[in-house]
Amino acid sequence: MIRKIAWRNIWRNRTRSLVIIASVVMGLWAGIFVIALSRGMVDQRKEKMINEQLSHIQLHTPGFKEKQKLADFIPGAAQILDSLRNMPGIKAVSGRSIINGMLSAPGGGSGVQIIGIDPGAENRLTGLEKKVVEGTYFPDGKNRILIGRALADKLGLHIGSKVVLTFLDTSSNILAGAFRISGLISTGDIRLDKVRVYARSDELQRVLGTSRPFIHEIALLLENDEEVPFYRAQLKERYPRLMVEAWYDLSPELRYLNEMMDVFLYIFMGIIMLALAFGLVNTMLMAVLERSRELGMLMAIGMNKRRLFLMIVSETVMLALTGAVIGMVLAYFSILIASHRGIDLSMVEQGMESFGISAVLYPSADIAYYPGIALMVIVFSVISAIYPARKALKLNPSEAIRKI
């Protein structure tokens, strides 16, 4: 009955209640939308980083990452690659040679990072072929390479241009190989596009004059991204002499961003709710003051303070929750639509892409936040009810009734 009274009391002053409900609706709708947008941005960045650059797990020799020495290749890489390919739960694997060298062309030279790959495996892992914006991804024919478009622009190179790649072998001899550009790539990360050169690893091997595959890096993608910690531990055990790192080891800032986002979003929501709480306090205070005779009567006939308090708290919570539910439903559907269509931010595309953020944002339709937000609404409305409720409890029934 107390809940029934509280609910009906809300509709006594329809306009006033609707105003506060509308502000809760707008506050939550906007708040949740921004959360979904931020979450979507972080998720998109994470996905992109994992699917195009980091992969789920990478293996190196312990010394390689620091100095990137040619000699720090993974021993027995071919067998490791084979066994990883046959391991259940692993979607794609690629082995890479990573050699720092020079790219020389008639228009000038530039320091580059030469990545030797198996084009098929690399494409399955990172979708490299999709990054080709001009030319062809490793067509038939010898000594074809892909270079970043930014690098090509810098050196005035085109599809079909001949270049020479030079680098040192393990005994510091200068080696050189002539290659022809078959494609230009754009990864969305301009910093990478200025230094990246992709070649077939077997052709690099030939330049090095060795039959040993110089694989410095093995990257793999799992079927299920929740299993990363499990596979990370498994592989660590299996290859104790290698460094096994998950995406979150490789990019602590991505992990931090991922984790801090939640904290940030709850703080953000808290600020919105704090503002709404003032509106609630005001509304309920007005309601209590204009009903003082009635509240006095209720106390006179035997409604105790606990129940009176409960009645006012219920009214406040219901008022806020009504708005919250509508706001969440609106947020849910608008986010659902936006997450399918995407929000095109191409006006600022250039700037965003260089940070590895796509120009079309897809807000995250994740509803995992909703229970937490609903809980926050309840907590904030209970807090907002305290002051008005205390005002009501301070009423003296005999005085309140005398005013009749």
List residues binding other proteins (CB under 8 A).
Answer: 1, 4-5, 8-9, 12, 293-294, 297-305, 307, 396-398, 401-402, 404
User: Smallest gap, in angstroms, from Cβ of residue 2 to other proteins?
Assistant: 9
Q: How far apart are the first and last CA of the chain?
A: 25
Got the DSSP string for 173-187?
A: -EEEEEEEEEEEE--
Considering only CA atoms, which of 283, 259, 224, 217 is closest in space to residue 80?
A: 217
User: Smallest gap, in angstroms, from Cβ of residue 300 to other proteins?
Assistant: 6
At residue 354, φ and ψ (nearest 5 deg) are -70, -15
User: Smallest gap, in angstroms, from Cβ of residue 19 to other proteins?
Assistant: 20
8-state DSSP, 93: E
Question: How many angstroms separate the CA atoms of 337 and 235, rounded?
Answer: 41
User: Smallest gap, in angstroms, from Cβ of residue 378 to other proteins?
Assistant: 23
Residue with token string 């098929």: 120
Nearer to other proteins, 259 or 399 (CB): 399
- Per DSSP, helices labelled H in 172-291 are 190-193, 201-208, 228-238, 247-250, 252-290
Question: How many angstroms separate the CA atoms of 231 and 222, rounded?
Answer: 9
Q: Are 201 and 215 in contact (CB under 8 A)?
A: yes
Nearer to other proteins, 377 or 400 (CB): 400
User: Smallest gap, in angstroms, from Cβ of residue 391 to other proteins?
Assistant: 16
**CA-atom Rg of the chain in angstroms:** 32
Question: How many angstroms separate the CA atoms of 44 and 352, rounded?
Answer: 13
Nearer to other proteins, 2 or 164 (CB): 2
Question: How many angstroms separate the CA atoms of 14 and 169, rounded?
Answer: 82
User: Smallest gap, in angstroms, from Cβ of residue 360 to other proteins?
Assistant: 51
Nearer to other proteins, 82 or 294 (CB): 294
User: Smallest gap, in angstroms, from Cβ of residue 10 to other proteins?
Assistant: 9
Nearer to other proteins, 354 or 396 (CB): 396
Nearer to other proteins, 185 or 284 (CB): 284
Instruction: Work out the angle between the directed axes of helices 14-48 and 369-393 (0-180°, nearest 10).
Output: 150
Find the angle CA(345)-CA(346)-CA(352) to the nearest 5 degrees: 80
Nearer to other proteins, 70 or 308 (CB): 308
- Contacts of residue 375, defined as CB under 8 A and 6 or more positions apart, other chains included, come to none
User: Smallest gap, in angstroms, from Cβ of residue 323 to other proteins?
Assistant: 20
Is the torsion defined by CA of 153, 159, 162, 167 positive or negative? positive
Nearer to other proteins, 308 or 335 (CB): 308
